Amino acid sequence: MTNISNHSFTISHLKVLVTGAAGFIGSNLCEILLEKGAKVVGLDNLSTGNKKNLNICFQHNNFHFIEGDIRNIQDCLTAVRNIDIVLHQAALGSVPRSINDPITTNDVNIGGFLNMLEASRREGVDRFIYAASSSTYGDSESLPKEENKIGNPLSPYAITKYVNELYAANYKKTYNLDTIGLRYFNVFGRKQTPEGAYAAVIPKFVMQLMNYESPTINGDGSFSRDFTYIDNVILMNLLAMTTEDPKALNQIYNTACGANTSLNELVSYLKEGLSVFDPKIENVKVTYGTERKGDVPHSLAAIEKAKQYLNYHPEYNVREGLKEAIKWYWVNLK
Protein backbone atom coordinates (compact mmCIF):
# COMPACT_ATOMS: atom_id res chain seq x y z
CA MET A 1 0.00 0.00 0.00
CA THR A 2 0.94 3.65 -0.06
CA ASN A 3 4.07 4.95 1.62
CA ILE A 4 2.72 7.92 3.61
CA SER A 5 5.85 7.52 5.64
CA ASN A 6 6.48 10.82 7.41
CA HIS A 7 2.94 11.41 8.61
CA SER A 8 0.60 9.95 11.17
CA PHE A 9 -3.06 10.65 10.53
CA THR A 10 -5.74 10.14 13.15
CA ILE A 11 -8.89 9.55 11.14
CA SER A 12 -10.46 6.50 12.78
CA HIS A 13 -13.19 8.71 14.27
CA LEU A 14 -14.25 9.98 10.83
CA LYS A 15 -16.92 8.82 8.39
CA VAL A 16 -15.84 9.79 4.88
CA LEU A 17 -17.72 9.77 1.57
CA VAL A 18 -15.62 9.24 -1.56
CA THR A 19 -17.49 10.00 -4.79
CA GLY A 20 -16.13 8.37 -7.91
CA ALA A 21 -15.04 5.60 -5.55
CA ALA A 22 -14.60 2.95 -8.26
CA GLY A 23 -12.31 5.16 -10.32
CA PHE A 24 -8.54 5.32 -10.32
CA ILE A 25 -8.05 8.04 -7.69
CA GLY A 26 -11.22 7.31 -5.72
CA SER A 27 -10.45 3.64 -5.18
CA ASN A 28 -6.90 4.40 -4.01
CA LEU A 29 -8.30 6.93 -1.54
CA CYS A 30 -10.84 4.42 -0.22
CA GLU A 31 -8.11 1.86 0.43
CA ILE A 32 -5.86 4.16 2.46
CA LEU A 33 -8.80 5.61 4.43
CA LEU A 34 -9.90 2.11 5.41
CA GLU A 35 -6.32 1.11 6.21
CA LYS A 36 -6.12 4.06 8.60
CA GLY A 37 -9.38 3.12 10.32
CA ALA A 38 -11.96 5.51 8.87
CA LYS A 39 -15.49 4.45 8.00
CA VAL A 40 -15.89 4.90 4.24
CA VAL A 41 -18.90 5.22 1.95
CA GLY A 42 -18.17 4.95 -1.76
CA LEU A 43 -20.51 6.41 -4.40
CA ASP A 44 -20.13 5.64 -8.11
CA ASN A 45 -22.40 5.09 -11.11
CA LEU A 46 -19.75 2.82 -12.72
CA SER A 47 -19.85 4.72 -16.03
CA THR A 48 -16.06 5.06 -16.07
CA GLY A 49 -15.11 3.39 -12.77
CA ASN A 50 -14.84 -0.36 -12.23
CA LYS A 51 -16.01 -2.30 -9.18
CA LYS A 52 -12.93 -4.54 -9.33
CA ASN A 53 -10.88 -1.48 -8.24
CA LEU A 54 -12.67 -1.83 -4.89
CA ASN A 55 -11.95 -5.54 -4.31
CA ILE A 56 -9.76 -4.81 -1.27
CA CYS A 57 -12.32 -2.34 0.11
CA PHE A 58 -15.16 -4.86 -0.03
CA GLN A 59 -13.18 -7.00 2.44
CA HIS A 60 -13.55 -4.26 5.10
CA ASN A 61 -16.54 -4.07 7.46
CA ASN A 62 -16.10 -0.29 7.48
CA PHE A 63 -16.83 0.05 3.75
CA HIS A 64 -20.25 0.64 2.24
CA PHE A 65 -20.76 1.03 -1.52
CA ILE A 66 -23.66 2.88 -3.14
CA GLU A 67 -24.23 2.55 -6.87
CA GLY A 68 -25.65 5.97 -7.63
CA ASP A 69 -25.25 9.03 -9.82
CA ILE A 70 -24.19 12.51 -8.68
CA ARG A 71 -26.63 13.91 -11.26
CA ASN A 72 -29.42 12.54 -9.05
CA ILE A 73 -29.82 14.74 -5.95
CA GLN A 74 -31.53 11.94 -4.03
CA ASP A 75 -28.49 9.67 -4.54
CA CYS A 76 -26.29 12.48 -3.23
CA LEU A 77 -28.47 13.03 -0.15
CA THR A 78 -28.47 9.31 0.62
CA ALA A 79 -24.69 9.12 0.27
CA VAL A 80 -23.88 12.10 2.54
CA ARG A 81 -26.10 11.05 5.43
CA ASN A 82 -24.07 11.12 8.69
CA ILE A 83 -20.87 11.90 6.77
CA ASP A 84 -18.13 14.06 8.33
CA ILE A 85 -15.97 14.72 5.27
CA VAL A 86 -16.63 14.42 1.52
CA LEU A 87 -13.78 13.66 -0.89
CA HIS A 88 -15.44 14.50 -4.22
CA GLN A 89 -13.58 12.74 -7.04
CA ALA A 90 -16.51 11.93 -9.34
CA ALA A 91 -16.24 13.69 -12.72
CA LEU A 92 -16.03 13.04 -16.42
CA GLY A 93 -12.35 13.62 -17.12
CA SER A 94 -10.54 14.22 -20.41
CA VAL A 95 -10.23 17.37 -22.49
CA PRO A 96 -10.94 15.53 -25.78
CA ARG A 97 -14.07 13.89 -24.31
CA SER A 98 -15.38 17.31 -23.28
CA ILE A 99 -14.76 18.70 -26.76
CA ASN A 100 -16.63 15.73 -28.30
CA ASP A 101 -19.48 15.83 -25.76
CA PRO A 102 -19.65 19.12 -23.85
CA ILE A 103 -23.25 18.56 -22.69
CA THR A 104 -22.58 15.40 -20.69
CA THR A 105 -19.33 16.80 -19.30
CA ASN A 106 -21.25 19.86 -18.09
CA ASP A 107 -24.10 17.77 -16.60
CA VAL A 108 -21.72 15.60 -14.57
CA ASN A 109 -19.00 18.08 -13.67
CA ILE A 110 -21.17 21.11 -12.89
CA GLY A 111 -24.68 19.74 -12.24
CA GLY A 112 -23.31 16.78 -10.28
CA PHE A 113 -20.88 18.96 -8.37
CA LEU A 114 -23.63 21.36 -7.35
CA ASN A 115 -25.81 18.43 -6.23
CA MET A 116 -22.98 17.18 -4.02
CA LEU A 117 -22.36 20.63 -2.52
CA GLU A 118 -26.06 21.11 -1.83
CA ALA A 119 -26.48 17.64 -0.32
CA SER A 120 -23.41 18.26 1.87
CA ARG A 121 -24.85 21.59 3.04
CA ARG A 122 -28.26 20.09 3.85
CA GLU A 123 -26.76 17.17 5.77
CA GLY A 124 -24.29 19.31 7.75
CA VAL A 125 -21.03 17.88 6.36
CA ASP A 126 -18.00 19.38 8.14
CA ARG A 127 -15.67 19.67 5.15
CA PHE A 128 -15.99 19.25 1.38
CA ILE A 129 -12.70 18.47 -0.40
CA TYR A 130 -12.86 18.21 -4.16
CA ALA A 131 -10.75 17.33 -7.17
CA ALA A 132 -10.05 20.53 -9.04
CA SER A 133 -7.85 20.57 -12.15
CA SER A 134 -4.71 22.13 -13.56
CA SER A 135 -6.71 22.67 -16.78
CA THR A 136 -8.13 25.74 -15.01
CA TYR A 137 -4.87 27.58 -15.80
CA GLY A 138 -5.93 27.62 -19.46
CA ASP A 139 -3.94 29.92 -21.72
CA SER A 140 -1.97 31.50 -18.88
CA GLU A 141 1.67 31.32 -19.99
CA SER A 142 3.26 32.05 -16.62
CA LEU A 143 5.32 29.20 -15.15
CA PRO A 144 5.22 27.79 -12.59
CA LYS A 145 1.43 27.88 -12.22
CA GLU A 146 0.42 29.80 -9.10
CA GLU A 147 -3.05 29.31 -7.67
CA ASN A 148 -4.10 32.95 -7.96
CA LYS A 149 -3.03 33.45 -11.60
CA ILE A 150 -5.23 31.70 -14.14
CA GLY A 151 -5.97 32.33 -17.80
CA ASN A 152 -8.89 31.64 -20.13
CA PRO A 153 -10.00 27.98 -20.17
CA LEU A 154 -9.22 26.09 -23.38
CA SER A 155 -11.88 23.35 -23.25
CA PRO A 156 -15.36 22.63 -21.89
CA TYR A 157 -13.71 20.37 -19.29
CA ALA A 158 -11.56 23.25 -18.04
CA ILE A 159 -14.62 25.51 -17.81
CA THR A 160 -16.47 22.94 -15.68
CA LYS A 161 -13.58 22.60 -13.25
CA TYR A 162 -13.28 26.37 -12.88
CA VAL A 163 -17.02 26.67 -12.23
CA ASN A 164 -16.59 24.09 -9.45
CA GLU A 165 -14.14 26.42 -7.72
CA LEU A 166 -16.57 29.34 -8.04
CA TYR A 167 -19.43 27.30 -6.57
CA ALA A 168 -17.25 26.07 -3.70
CA ALA A 169 -16.25 29.63 -2.79
CA ASN A 170 -19.89 30.73 -3.02
CA TYR A 171 -21.07 27.91 -0.72
CA LYS A 172 -18.59 29.06 1.93
CA LYS A 173 -19.72 32.67 1.61
CA THR A 174 -23.44 31.92 1.43
CA TYR A 175 -23.86 28.81 3.59
CA ASN A 176 -20.58 28.61 5.55
CA LEU A 177 -19.65 25.18 4.12
CA ASP A 178 -15.88 24.70 4.43
CA THR A 179 -14.25 23.50 1.22
CA ILE A 180 -10.77 22.78 -0.13
CA GLY A 181 -10.03 22.42 -3.86
CA LEU A 182 -7.07 20.32 -4.97
CA ARG A 183 -5.91 21.17 -8.48
CA TYR A 184 -4.59 17.83 -9.69
CA PHE A 185 -1.74 17.82 -12.20
CA ASN A 186 -1.61 14.74 -14.48
CA VAL A 187 -2.01 12.06 -11.84
CA PHE A 188 -0.73 8.54 -12.61
CA GLY A 189 -0.23 5.24 -10.82
CA ARG A 190 -1.72 1.89 -9.88
CA LYS A 191 -5.25 1.12 -11.11
CA GLN A 192 -5.22 3.78 -13.84
CA THR A 193 -6.70 2.07 -16.87
CA PRO A 194 -5.05 1.99 -20.32
CA GLU A 195 -8.39 1.06 -21.89
CA GLY A 196 -10.80 3.32 -23.77
CA ALA A 197 -10.64 6.26 -26.16
CA TYR A 198 -9.79 8.71 -23.38
CA ALA A 199 -7.12 6.74 -21.54
CA ALA A 200 -4.44 8.79 -19.81
CA VAL A 201 -1.09 8.96 -21.54
CA ILE A 202 1.06 6.97 -19.07
CA PRO A 203 -0.97 3.72 -18.83
CA LYS A 204 -1.68 3.93 -22.57
CA PHE A 205 2.01 4.26 -23.44
CA VAL A 206 2.96 1.50 -20.97
CA MET A 207 0.47 -0.91 -22.56
CA GLN A 208 1.69 -0.07 -26.05
CA LEU A 209 5.36 -0.46 -25.13
CA MET A 210 4.69 -3.82 -23.42
CA ASN A 211 3.09 -4.96 -26.69
CA TYR A 212 6.00 -3.56 -28.77
CA GLU A 213 3.66 -1.01 -30.33
CA SER A 214 4.89 2.51 -31.14
CA PRO A 215 3.33 5.10 -28.81
CA THR A 216 2.16 8.24 -30.64
CA ILE A 217 3.11 11.58 -29.15
CA ASN A 218 0.86 14.49 -30.10
CA GLY A 219 3.15 17.23 -31.39
CA ASP A 220 6.96 17.12 -31.30
CA GLY A 221 7.26 15.79 -27.74
CA SER A 222 8.43 19.09 -26.27
CA PHE A 223 5.14 19.70 -24.43
CA SER A 224 5.67 19.10 -20.71
CA ARG A 225 3.54 18.14 -17.74
CA ASP A 226 3.87 18.01 -13.97
CA PHE A 227 3.21 14.26 -13.78
CA THR A 228 2.14 13.43 -10.23
CA TYR A 229 2.24 10.00 -8.63
CA ILE A 230 -0.96 8.83 -6.92
CA ASP A 231 0.60 8.69 -3.44
CA ASN A 232 1.29 12.44 -3.55
CA VAL A 233 -2.42 12.96 -4.28
CA ILE A 234 -3.46 10.67 -1.43
CA LEU A 235 -1.15 12.62 0.88
CA MET A 236 -2.73 15.93 -0.16
CA ASN A 237 -6.24 14.61 0.51
CA LEU A 238 -5.22 13.36 3.96
CA LEU A 239 -3.59 16.69 4.81
CA ALA A 240 -6.69 18.57 3.60
CA MET A 241 -8.92 16.30 5.69
CA THR A 242 -6.96 16.66 8.91
CA THR A 243 -5.64 20.23 8.96
CA GLU A 244 -6.79 22.18 11.98
CA ASP A 245 -5.56 25.53 10.68
CA PRO A 246 -8.59 27.71 9.81
CA LYS A 247 -6.43 29.61 7.29
CA ALA A 248 -5.86 26.36 5.36
CA LEU A 249 -9.59 25.95 4.69
CA ASN A 250 -11.51 27.49 1.78
CA GLN A 251 -8.42 27.53 -0.38
CA ILE A 252 -7.28 26.06 -3.70
CA TYR A 253 -4.03 24.09 -3.76
CA ASN A 254 -1.90 22.75 -6.58
CA THR A 255 -1.50 19.02 -6.10
CA ALA A 256 1.66 18.07 -7.92
CA CYS A 257 5.39 17.35 -7.74
CA GLY A 258 6.57 20.83 -8.64
CA ALA A 259 8.69 19.54 -11.56
CA ASN A 260 7.84 19.13 -15.23
CA THR A 261 8.72 16.36 -17.67
CA SER A 262 8.49 16.57 -21.46
CA LEU A 263 6.63 13.85 -23.33
CA ASN A 264 9.91 12.82 -24.97
CA GLU A 265 11.50 12.45 -21.53
CA LEU A 266 8.46 10.55 -20.28
CA VAL A 267 8.73 7.92 -23.04
CA SER A 268 12.44 7.61 -22.34
CA TYR A 269 11.76 6.98 -18.61
CA LEU A 270 9.03 4.45 -19.43
CA LYS A 271 11.27 2.52 -21.81
CA GLU A 272 14.06 2.54 -19.25
CA GLY A 273 11.77 1.24 -16.49
CA LEU A 274 10.06 -1.39 -18.63
CA SER A 275 13.35 -2.63 -20.10
CA VAL A 276 14.26 -3.95 -16.66
CA PHE A 277 11.49 -6.52 -17.24
CA ASP A 278 11.91 -6.89 -21.02
CA PRO A 279 15.05 -5.48 -22.71
CA LYS A 280 13.41 -5.54 -26.17
CA ILE A 281 11.15 -2.64 -25.14
CA GLU A 282 14.14 -0.28 -25.35
CA ASN A 283 14.08 -0.66 -29.15
CA VAL A 284 10.40 0.28 -29.68
CA LYS A 285 10.20 3.43 -31.84
CA VAL A 286 8.06 6.47 -31.08
CA THR A 287 5.78 8.10 -33.67
CA TYR A 288 4.65 11.74 -33.71
CA GLY A 289 1.16 13.02 -34.56
CA THR A 290 -0.64 16.34 -34.65
CA GLU A 291 -1.14 18.48 -31.56
CA ARG A 292 -4.48 17.99 -29.77
CA LYS A 293 -7.06 20.75 -29.54
CA GLY A 294 -7.28 22.31 -26.11
CA ASP A 295 -3.84 21.11 -25.00
CA VAL A 296 -1.74 23.47 -22.90
CA PRO A 297 1.93 23.43 -24.04
CA HIS A 298 3.52 23.38 -20.59
CA SER A 299 2.30 22.64 -17.09
CA LEU A 300 4.38 23.10 -13.96
CA ALA A 301 2.91 23.63 -10.50
CA ALA A 302 4.09 25.98 -7.79
CA ILE A 303 3.59 23.99 -4.59
CA GLU A 304 4.70 26.61 -2.06
CA LYS A 305 1.14 27.35 -0.95
CA ALA A 306 0.48 23.67 -0.15
CA LYS A 307 3.79 23.52 1.72
CA GLN A 308 2.93 26.63 3.71
CA TYR A 309 -0.66 25.83 4.70
CA LEU A 310 -0.77 22.03 4.64
CA ASN A 311 2.88 21.12 5.26
CA TYR A 312 2.83 19.20 1.97
CA HIS A 313 6.07 17.71 0.71
CA PRO A 314 5.75 15.28 -2.22
CA GLU A 315 6.76 11.74 -1.31
CA TYR A 316 7.64 10.78 -4.90
CA ASN A 317 9.26 12.59 -7.81
CA VAL A 318 8.23 11.55 -11.31
CA ARG A 319 10.96 8.91 -11.82
CA GLU A 320 10.33 7.29 -8.42
CA GLY A 321 6.59 7.28 -9.11
CA LEU A 322 7.07 5.78 -12.56
CA LYS A 323 9.16 2.94 -11.10
CA GLU A 324 6.34 2.07 -8.69
CA ALA A 325 3.67 2.41 -11.39
CA ILE A 326 5.61 0.26 -13.89
CA LYS A 327 5.95 -2.54 -11.32
CA TRP A 328 2.18 -2.48 -10.84
CA TYR A 329 1.43 -2.35 -14.57
CA TRP A 330 3.81 -5.24 -15.29
CA VAL A 331 2.07 -7.49 -12.77
CA ASN A 332 -1.50 -6.43 -13.58
CA LEU A 333 -1.53 -5.60 -17.29
CA LYS A 334 0.93 -8.09 -18.76
Catalytic residue set: 157
Identify the DSSP state of 47: S
Q: How far apart (Å, rounded) are the C-alpha atoms in residues 316 and 255?
A: 12
The stretches of the chain forming alpha helices (DSSP H) are: 24-35, 73-80, 95-100, 102-106, 113-123, 156-175, 201-210, 230-242, 263-275, 304-310, 318-333
Instruction: Read off the DSSP letter of residue 298.
Output: B
**SS3 label, residue 185:** coil
40: which strand partners?
A: 16, 63
Measured CA to CA, the distance from residue 67 to residue 77 in angstroms comes to 13
Biggest CA pair distance of the chain: 59
Question: What gap in Å lies between CA 70 and CA 252, rounded to an integer?
Answer: 22
Distances (CA, A) of 110 to 7, 96, 156, 166, 167: 34, 17, 11, 11, 9
